[in-house]
Amino acid sequence: MRAVVQRVSEASVTVDGKITGSIREGLLVLIAVHREDTDDQLRWMAEKLRKLRIFEDEDGKMNRSVEDVGGGILLVSQFTLYGELKKGTRPSFTGSAGPEKAEQMYDRLADLLKESLPGKVGTGIFAAKMEVSLVNDGPVTIIVER
């Protein structure tokens, strides 16, 4: 599993002109499932996202998690995070999980996050053409992979 995590002051996802998910302060998480990912990686990623300390404390140090600040998570599937350019200039996505597995794991990750952050998790629509809007806070961008 690979995630690009951005600390945001707000973010939203729009599909066909309709907002499908939005948050105020929190994390925008672009997530890709690898073809060999297991449930262990899924649970690890959910825990890591909840506990990732990239929000500032009273001393201005990145020492607080999204849970600590009462923020939200906007989870957006993005299989292109496994795009490889070893040959040529057209990416290969052979590392990405197939659609059935990827959707199942994406939905499960969203459910795990919703259990631990009730009312604070938004999502895109798997495999849809999405427009993602965000206001980066910092900017702070972290790549998380397992």
Longest dimension (CA), the chain: 48
Q: In the annotation, is 6 catalytic?
A: no
Return d(Cα 95, Cα 86) in angstroms, integer.
13
The answer to whether 15 touches 130, Cβ cutoff 8 Å, is yes
Q: What is the DSSP string of 77-92?
A: E-GGGG-B-SSSSS-B
Catalytic residue among 79, 93, 126, 141: 79
Q: Which of 6, 55, 78, 123 is catalytic?
A: 78
List phi, psi (to 5°) of 80. -65, -10
In the block, tokens 């490889």 appear at 84
Name the catalytic one among 20, 41, 55, 80: 80
Residue 79 appears among annotated catalytic residues: yes
Return the active site residues. 78-80
